[in-house]
Structure formats: structure tokens, C-alpha cells
Amino acid sequence: MPELPEVEIIKRGLDRLIVGRKIATIEPLVQRSFPGFSAEVESIIVGSAICSVARRGKLLLVGLDSEHSLLIHLRMTGQLVYRQADYNGQMSSSNDSFGGGHPNASLIKDLPDKTTRVIFSFTDDSRLYFNDQRKFGYIKLVRNSDLDDDSFIRKLGPEPLAGDFTWHVLKERLPKKSTRAIKAALLDQCVVAGIGNIYADESLFAAGIHPTRPVVSLSDDEIERLHGAICCCLRQSIADGGSTARNYVDSQGMRGEYLELHAQVFNRSGQVCARCGHPIDKIRVAGRGTHVCSKCQK
Ligand SMILES: [Zn+2]
């Protein structure tokens, strides 16, 4: 599943490519991929221009000029692919195309294909495809005034890269007196928005904290270190173009390089820790494969 940096990369690409475009048609090919779609929803979307692309946690928010937003959650296998029509009216798969999200051939091959769930056509004949092999992702239309009440957004914790996310905020969001493992707490989108398996493992390594440590056992110093590590890992990954753990491809078809360049433990079990030379272990925490240096992480 793409995490905050991967969604941020997609956001930036879409922002550059689709803002200002006017929607001519929308075709939801699978009902489950656009819950709540109706003739009324269609009438709001068609004719609207896209005025913004934003991100909240792992969620994309595409703002329309009709006081509504499209909420897009990619979940496990979702991807967004933008293609401009070339001068023959065919969908071009070269220069002006882009794909972000789950890595499979649908990012680069002719669309629609069997994974295509929703198609937006713009008035200039370019298109935005929402592909989703496993159909866990979704698109929803929400009135802007109702965004804060959306069942998913309402529960989201703070944005870790926002200026007001201090270590005190992190401490406040962590469950009090909880014996839950710190990694489980980091994966909980209500604690902090946008962190998944990669950045939980990397942040805990950078902070020198073992993923199984009960939340209640963390000192203020450790929470402060963890806060710094979260911000640092996420910023580094965005700078690297995201992760290639699953070969996420960004808006220009570039692969992110975070895992190759900067990740210290994720997917490195059996290799030695760059800091101390101890082998990196893979254990299970919160039901997820977890990478840890048991010498550096206490
Ligand atoms: Zn180590």
C-alpha cells in the first residue's frame, strides 16, 4: 500500500497535470469502486473543472469547482493513470502520460484494461483512469462542507509533515498507559496519518526504539527522538521520489529511490546493520513483517 510519501508524489504529479481540466464524462465500470455513484453525483461531476489536488494521510482529495471533492483512496492495488490524447485521438502512452500507485503493467500499457474501474474523460480528450486490481480502493464524491465529517477523514490523526506536528503532539496522540507495541500505534492512522509499514520500521530504527516496545514504556526523550525520525524519514523519501518497495512509479514514470538510497532496515533482513554490523532480523509485530536491528533498537 502506498504510504504518505508515495501518495504525496502522486499528488504533486496530478497537481501539475490535471488542475484546470474540465470533466466531460465519468464512467464507473465497477460499482464498488465508486460507492454512492448516482445520476445526481454524475451531474455534479460532469462539467466541473478540477481546481486543486491535495493529500490527507494516504488519501487524495481532488477539488472540483462545484464545491465538491473527489476522495480517492488507493488502498492495496489502486493506481491513477493520466493519459493525454495524441493528435490521432489515440491515448498516448509516452510523453504526457503518467502513472502512480500499485506497480503493474497497467501503469504503462493501453487503457482501459481489465483492472480499470473508473474513467474520467476531460474536455480536451485526455483521461484519468482509476485502476484497481483487487478493488479495495475507492473514489467518493463529498461536498466540501462535509469533508471534515467524512467517516475516514474524521478519524485521521495529524499530518506528520505539518508545521504544528511537534513531539508534544505525538505524545498526546499516543494511547495513554497502553501496553500496545509502538509499531502498532504508528500504523494506526488515528495516531498519525500516513505512516505504513516502511516508514514505521525506518522511523523506529532511526530513533533506536524496538518495534515491540509497549507505548507506555517510552520516555519523553524517546518520543522526541521518534518524532524527529518520522519527519526525517518521510521528508527523505519524498525527496527521493518515494519508495521502490513495490516499484511505485511517480507522475513522470520515475521510480522512487528511497529504499535503495536511504532505508536502513526495511526489506534488509539477513543483511548487516550499517550502524553496528549486527544482522537485521525480520519479526512479526501487529501482524506485519517488521525489520529490526536488535542491537541498535532497545
Ligand atoms: Zn544495528
Amino acid at 4: L
Task: Give distance in angstroms: CA of 181 to centre of ligand 1.
Answer: 20
What pTM, to 2 d.p., does this model score? Answer: 0.91
Q: Tens digits of per-residue pLDDT, 224-258?
A: 999 999 999 999 999 988 775 444 454 455 567 88
Nearest to 126 by CA among 102, 96, 152, 171: 96
Q: How many helices (H) and strands (E) does the chain have?
A: 8, 11
pLDDT at residue number 96: 67
pLDDT at residue number 244: 52
pLDDT at residue number 109: 78
Nearest to 50 by CA among 79, 74, 14: 14
Q: Which cell numbers hold the place of 157?
A: 490523526
Residue 101 is given by DSSP the state: E
* 167-292 belongs to CATH 3.40.1160.10: no
Residue 30 is given by DSSP the state: S
Nearest to 113 by CA among 96, 130, 135: 130
Task: Give distance in angstroms: CA of 207 to centre of ligand 1.
Answer: 12
Task: Give distance in angstroms: CA of 268 to centre of ligand 1.
Answer: 12
Nearest to 94 by CA among 106, 86, 104: 86
Helix orientation angle between 197-207 and 220-239, rounded to the nearest 10 degrees: 130
pLDDT at residue number 90: 52
Residue at grid coordinates 508545521: 163
Task: Give distance in angstroms: CA of 279 to centre of ligand 1.
Answer: 8
Residue 199 exposed, middle or buried by CB count within 10 Å (0-12, 13-18, 19+): buried
Task: Give distance in angstroms: CA of 278 to centre of ligand 1.
Answer: 5
Residue ranges of the chain with per-residue pLDDT less than 70: 86-96, 244-255
Q: Tens digits of per-residue pLDDT, 176-204?
A: 999 999 999 999 999 999 999 999 999 99
Percentages of the chain per state (helix, strand, coil), in multiples of 5: 30, 25, 45
Task: Give distance in angstroms: CA of 178 to centre of ligand 1.
Answer: 27
**Domain boundaries of the chain, sorted by first residue:** 4-155, 167-292
Nearest to 268 by CA among 237, 291, 290: 291
pLDDT at residue number 246: 40
Nearest to 60 by CA among 118, 139, 119: 139
pLDDT at residue number 229: 98
d(CA 149, CA 205): 35
- Catalytic residues, by residue number, are 2-3, 58, 288
Task: Give distance in angstroms: CA of 6 to centre of ligand 1.
Answer: 27
Q: Which fold has domain 4-155?
A: N-terminal domain of MutM-like DNA repair proteins (3.20.190)
Nearest to 142 by CA among 66, 31, 46, 57: 66
d(CA 187, CA 39): 37
Task: Give distance in angstroms: CA of 280 to centre of ligand 1.
Answer: 7
Q: Where are the beta strands (DSSP E) in 91-187?
A: 98-101, 116-122, 127-132, 138-143
Cβ atoms 140, 36 nearer than 8 A: yes
Task: Give distance in angstroms: CA of 165 to centre of ligand 1.
Answer: 28
